[in-house]
């Protein structure tokens, strides 16, 4: 399925959105499609990226950037979201400096080459993703020995829930991953001249 909703022209976007997109382009070398797809509705774009940044860029808590991306990749695979698995899998490979980790956690995190802490984290995230109504005290208790506190557990659940929204938006709209994402973190980065 092709992308159903055409991307707006970058030059027609409100200045705050345009500036952020250009900043991302400068850093990444391309514009991830999600930035343009949501830009067609500026109020929703601002709300989406404000919550994204609050969850994914926060400094507090014990979750690493790689662990946050691991949650996104694993639960996005469960939700069958091609865009998020490919895009966040690329970021995960870079943060963890492990070219195989994204494929492993997307297919079966229990068989992935990750430590018990991350397996426990992903077990919880998958339960939130698929059966949040069944979460009980025992699910929290399973995370405490791995160094997670109640605020970390909130983060795991919030990331899972937020990307559940993102997965559904990307999938229904036919959002396709940028080709650049497929190789990111798999091969040594080319040196810029």
The tens place of each residue's pLDDT in the chain, 193 residues long, gives: 456 889 999 999 999 999 999 999 999 999 999 999 999 999 999 999 999 999 999 999 999 999 999 999 999 999 999 999 999 999 999 999 999 999 999 999 999 999 999 999 999 999 999 999 999 999 999 999 999 999 999 999 999 999 999 999 999 999 999 999 999 998 766 555 5
* Number of residues in the chain: 193
Residue 141 sits at φ, ψ, to 5 deg, of -60, -30
Q: Which pTM was predicted?
A: 0.94
Tell me which long-range contacts 123-127 makes (C-beta under 8 A, separation of at least 24): 124/153, 124/156, 124/157, 125/71, 125/74, 125/75, 125/156, 125/157, 125/159, 125/160, 126/74, 126/75, 126/78
């Amino acid at each position: 399925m092709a992308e159903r909703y055409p991307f707006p022209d970058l030059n027609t976007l409100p200045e705050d959105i345009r500036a952020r997109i250009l900043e991302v382009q400068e850093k990444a070398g391309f514009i991830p499609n999600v930035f343009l797809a949501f830009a067609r509705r500026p109020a929703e774009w601002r709300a989406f990226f404000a919550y994204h940044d609050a969850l994914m860029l926060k400094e507090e808590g014990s979750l690493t950037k790689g662990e946050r991306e691991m949650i996104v990749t694993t639960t996005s695979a469960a939700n069958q979201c091609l865009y998020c698995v490919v895009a966040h899998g690329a970021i995960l490979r870079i943060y963890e400096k492990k070219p195989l980790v994204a494929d492993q956690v997307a297919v079966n995190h229990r068989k992935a080459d990750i430590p018990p802490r991350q397996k426990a984290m992903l077990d919880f995230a998958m339960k939130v993703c698929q059966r949040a109504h069944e979460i009980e005290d025992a699910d929290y208790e399973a995370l405490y020995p791995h160094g997670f506190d109640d605020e970390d557990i909130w983060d795991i659940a919030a990331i899972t829930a937020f990307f559940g929204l993102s997965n559904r938006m990307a999938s229904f709209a036919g959002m396709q991953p940028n080709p650049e994402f497929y190789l990111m973190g798999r091969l040594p980065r080319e040196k810029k001249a």
